[in-house]
Structure 1
């Protein structure tokens, strides 16, 4: 069966999976889940993903959730073109870079956390933005240093071509721009994002190019 990706145009985790599916040339269908409208909390979607989060990927054998697990499964199922370097050290550094985003930066500035921050700040309309901008900046300070030893030709982070590092970086850069992070402080991340956006399959995954974009 053709894979079906359930997601939201502005979801960073969905963006990761879209980019990887496109890059690997996988033909898939897309089913929007309106996070702003609360569709992720409905009974129908929770039958697919009990956490009520996106993305979910329906494939032969069941439904996969959590973007790191989906991306690792994809790398094992469609190993070419590879999104992890062949050298073990570079593979480990790439995974560490991804984890810094996936575990330490993204989770504390996603939609449900920003709503909670705003609620705790007496509905201050700027509270969520300030929170996200602060923690993205802190995370990017480390990522800029993590990328430095391995920034390769063409601006890519680990080697001379795109990897999972760019797959994780692109959505976080999109969020950084949304929240007004000063990106001039992070030239390697900016260069890597530009290099990634020059890859047609990655460019097609941008939130603005999705059918549910608004």
Structure 2
């Protein structure tokens, strides 16, 4: 498999985590978002939406990280990232969607570039925008995590799931945007634990070949 992504892309980050947790090998091709390589015809021929990640298998091109994670779970059921029961799967998918639908999209590069270039928003206001929506989403997520008395060291249960694949990149992004993370002890504990695991360590943005060194 070949993963087209970018070291700091949250969606690429979550996909790397899932691939690593599944123990799957892949080649990485960097699409430099800072240089707008995702908008060039060469990459748009691969993904017309011009977004990373894209995952190329022998006979299939996958795009949109939620769909990629679901495909990985179906095709490679070992090291499952979803619970066995319907209620558990609902909970994991809901936690994932809180991040993937309600936090990440309004803080990604396309939105921030529009704020800067089209609306002439200054950098302090852009930072405040990011902090506002991450903090609001994390507050709700923290409440749900605190209520789950059966939860272990992960977002759900005692093993990593989709929700952790989504959360750890969002915490990385929150640090980039200087969000005060002290109000979220459960999120911080999950992040600290996950980052001790090899799959998460290897997926970390700063451990990617295209990261600045």
- Tell me the TM-score normalized by structure 2: 0.95
2:192 alignment counterpart: 194
* Residue 6 of structure 1: aligned partner: 4
The question of 1:95 aligning with 2:88 is answered: no
Q: Which residue pairs with 2:39 in the alignment?
A: 41
What CA deviation, in whole Å up to 9, does each residue of 1:33-91 have, x standing for no partner?
Answer: 00000100000100110000000000122211000000000000111100111122111
Find the partner of 1:69 among 67, 70, 85: 67
Q: Distance in 1 between matches of 2:42 and 2:135?
A: 37
Is residue 156 from structure 1 mapped to residue 154 from structure 2 by the alignment? yes
State the distance in 2 between where 1:189 and 1:150 align.
13
Report the TM-score when normalising by structure 1.
0.95
Name the SS of the counterpart of 1:74 in structure 2: helix
1:108 corresponds in structure 2 to 106
C-alpha displacement of 1:128? 1.7
Give the CA deviation at 1:115: 1.1
Q: Number of residue pairs matched?
A: 212
**Separation in 1 of the partners of 2:75 and 2:131?**
36
User: Which 5+ residue runs of structure 2 have no aligned equivalent?
Assistant: none
Aligned-partner Cα distance in 2 for 1:155–1:118 = 39
Maintained 8 Å contact 1:5/1:55: yes
Match of 2:28 in 1: 30
Alpha-carbon distance, 1:129 to partner: 1.4
Match of 2:163 in 1: 165
SS in 2 for 1:114: helix
1:126 lines up with 2:111 in the alignment: no
